């Protein structure tokens, strides 16, 4: 029990301590140490933390305790006491799984609501006493419209990955939902980035909040080995197959920029004899869950994903992430590589960069405040800089690690304000959870 005792100072009740022990956690993560006591004290919270930091337990544990420590004031069917809003169905499912895991020794009822699946089982699940509802905004409003859910009893509101919700165009849905909540409530807002829009939203929602900010313990920090392979774009797929075979990578998450690109790459890798599947917003929920399960159980070795689809995926400790294409906004690079090196383990993130992506690469290196080491593979040529090549400069030579250009230790650079809308270019709405 000495391991669990590191959680002891946080004031969590025994049923939660037992669930934590079952989960095998040794010690609270920084976000948990900071957030749990404040939430237990009833404070509003503004938290800068992204997936991989343990943020989910940081809000789920104290919420379970608060709800179980006093009975509902007027319990009735479909009237939750806590509402957690998430941008994607995957994240909703994962947060709900955490509610069930950590709440297994408590008598609380919860359900999860998201789009892309039949509404009827959700309607049925809302009949009966309800403590916690985890939902994507669109489908939640559908249930509101059908009078399946009554939000007037919400005591605690959580906005998880608020920046991504705004990116995905959920602001109007969120505002409609806020109008249905009682004015007096506790509010917790989690976001990886803090744009003007997020600050405006949080100012309108949070009351005298405690701010907690944790550097992601992975991302661009020391834990993730980051490399860049400059390569002609037409050679990328062949190079990826070559590297997967050469290094015997068994679990690789590969990012593409588009859904179409994800499909094409997964097909081509399969054609090369490498088991691969694509996961993105156009796939049905069943197909996504199946691909994810196969990847987790190692029946397929390569999961090709778009940024939106991958966001919030809990795939444990991934050893290898590959950027088949760089993202359009540098912050997404930090999110992507945050998929590896999780929970304190080291991971590796490789980016395949062609001539047209050199400007994006410079933007990423500016954001993480360090150059990324270049690697080379015999037979795969770096693109020649020329008039038809990059819109930016030729590849900067990477100074050695630890040079004066290197970022400060632990400075992942991903919590800084990121321009007017936080992430620049519009993101696809295809992955919305409606
Ligand atoms: P999250 O940032 O909430 O998505 O959590 C990322 C991962 O960390 C999940 O797989 C959790 O199960 C795991 N996790 C959460 N808290 C701890 C902890 N205190 N110790 C070790 N792993 C944890």
Residue of 312 and 87 predicted with greater confidence: 87
Per-residue model confidence (pLDDT) at position 313: 67
Centre of ligand 1 to C-alpha 69, Å, is: 24
Spell out the residues 6+ positions from residue 253 whose beta carbon is closer than 8 angstroms to its own: 302, 303, 305, 310, 315, 318, 320, 321, 322, 339, 340
Asked whether residue 431 carries a pLDDT value surpassing 60, the answer given is: no
Per-residue model confidence (pLDDT) at position 428: 32
Over residues 219-248, the mean pLDDT reads 88
- Surface-to-core class of residue 84, CB atoms within 10 Å of its CB (0-12 exposed, 13-18 middle, 19+ buried): buried
pTM for the whole structure:
0.60
Domain boundaries defined on the chain? 3-213, 224-426
Average pLDDT of every residue of the chain: 83
CA-CA distance, 434 to 431, in Å (whole number)?
9
* Pocket lining: 421 vs ligand 1, CB cutoff 6 Å: no
* 355 to 233, 302, 388: CA distances (angstroms): 8, 25, 9
* Pocket lining: 210 vs ligand 1, CB cutoff 6 Å: no
Q: Comparing C-alpha atoms, which of 193, 126, 205, 132 is closest to residue 165?
A: 193
Per-residue model confidence (pLDDT) at position 167: 80
Among protein residues, the one with the nearest Cα to ligand 1's atom 1 is 54
416 SS3 class:
coil
Poorest-pLDDT segment among 115-129, 143-157, 280-294, 396-410: 396-410
- pLDDT tens readout for residues 66-80: 999 988 777 778 999
* Pocket lining: 60 vs ligand 1, CB cutoff 6 Å: no
> Is-same-fold flag (3-213; 224-426)?
yes
Q: Which helix (H) or strand (E) holds 84?
A: strand 82-85
Among protein residues, the one with the nearest Cα to ligand 1's atom 15 is 54
Centre of ligand 1 to C-alpha 39, Å, is: 18
CA-CA distance, 352 to 99, in Å (whole number)?
38
Neighbouring C-beta atoms of residue 138, cutoff 10 Å: 18
* Pocket lining: 89 vs ligand 1, CB cutoff 6 Å: no
Per-residue model confidence (pLDDT) at position 58: 97
CATH number of 3-213: 3.40.50.300
Spell out the residues 6+ positions from residue 222 whose beta carbon is closer than 8 angstroms to its own: 409, 410
Per-residue model confidence (pLDDT) at position 401: 34
- The 3-state secondary structure of 306-352 reads CHHHHCCCCCCCECEEEECCCCCCHHHHHHHHCCECHHHCCEEEEEE
Spell out the residues 6+ positions from residue 203 whose beta carbon is closer than 8 angstroms to its own: none
* Pocket lining: 55 vs ligand 1, CB cutoff 6 Å: yes
256-259 long-range contacts (CB < 8 A, ≥24 apart) are 256/304, 256/305, 256/306, 256/324, 256/325, 257/306, 257/307, 257/325, 257/327, 257/328, 258/306, 259/306, 259/428, 259/430
* Pocket lining: 56 vs ligand 1, CB cutoff 6 Å: yes
CATH number for domain 224-426, candidates 3.40.50.300, 2.30.30.30, 3.30.210.10, 3.40.50.720? 3.40.50.300
CA-CA distance, 303 to 310, in Å (whole number)?
10
Per-residue model confidence (pLDDT) at position 408: 28
Going by pLDDT thresholds of 50, 70 and 90, the confidence category of residue 398 is very low
* Pocket lining: 190 vs ligand 1, CB cutoff 6 Å: no
């Amino acid at each position: 029990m000495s391991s669990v005792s590191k959680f002891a100072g946080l004031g969590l009740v025994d049923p939660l301590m037992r669930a934590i022990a079952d989960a095998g956690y040794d010690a609270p993560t920084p976000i948990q140490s900071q957030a749990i006591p404040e939430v237990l004290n009833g404070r509003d919270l503004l938290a800068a933390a992204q997936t991989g930091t343990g943020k989910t337990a940081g809000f789920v544990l104290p919420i379970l305790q608060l709800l179980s420590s006093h009975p509902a004031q007027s319990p009735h069917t479909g009237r939750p006491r806590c509402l957690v809003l998430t941008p994607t169905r995957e994240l909703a499912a994962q947060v709900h799984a955490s509610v069930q895991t950590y709440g297994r020794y408590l008598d609380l009822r919860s359900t999860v609501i998201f789009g892309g699946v039949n509404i009827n089982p959700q309607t049925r699940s809302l009949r009966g006493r309800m403590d916690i509802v985890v939902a994507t905004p669109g489908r939640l409003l559908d249930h509101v419209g059908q009078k399946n859910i009554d939000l007037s009893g919400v005591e605690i509101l959580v906005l998880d990955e608020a920046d991504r919700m705004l990116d995905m165009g959920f602001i109007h849905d969120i505002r409609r939902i806020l109008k249905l909540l009682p004015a007096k409530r506790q509010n917790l807002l989690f976001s990886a980035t803090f744009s003007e829009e997020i600050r405006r939203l949080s100012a309108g929602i949070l009351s005298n909040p405690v701010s907690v900010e944790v550097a992601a313990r992975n991302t661009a920090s020391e834990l993730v080995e980051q490399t860049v392979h400059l390569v002609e774009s037409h050679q990328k797929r062949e190079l990826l197959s070559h590297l997967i075979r050469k290094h015997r990578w068994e679990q690789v998450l590969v990012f593409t920029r588009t859904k179409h690109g994800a499909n094409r790459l997964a097909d081509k890798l399969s054609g090369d004899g490498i088991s691969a599947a694509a996961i993105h917003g156009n796939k049905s929920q069943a197909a996504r869950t199946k691909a994810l399960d196969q990847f987790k159980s190692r029946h397929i070795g390569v999961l090709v994903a778009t940024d939106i689809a991958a966001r919030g995926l809990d795939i444990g400790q991934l050893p290898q992430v590959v950027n088949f294409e760089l993202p359009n906004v540098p912050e997404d690079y930090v999110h992507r590589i945050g998929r590896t090196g999780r929970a304190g383990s080291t991971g590796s993130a490789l980016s395949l960069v062609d001539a047209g992506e050199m400007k994006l690469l410079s933007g990423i290196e500016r954001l993480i405040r360090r150059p990324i080491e270049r690697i080379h593979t015999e037979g795969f040529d770096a693109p020649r800089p020329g008039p038809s090549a990059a819109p930016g400069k030729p590849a900067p030579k990477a100074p050695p690690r630890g040079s004066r250009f290197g970022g400060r230790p632990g400075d992942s650079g991903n919590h800084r304000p990121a321009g007017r809308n936080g992430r620049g270019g519009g993101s696809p709405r295809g992955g919305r959870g409606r």
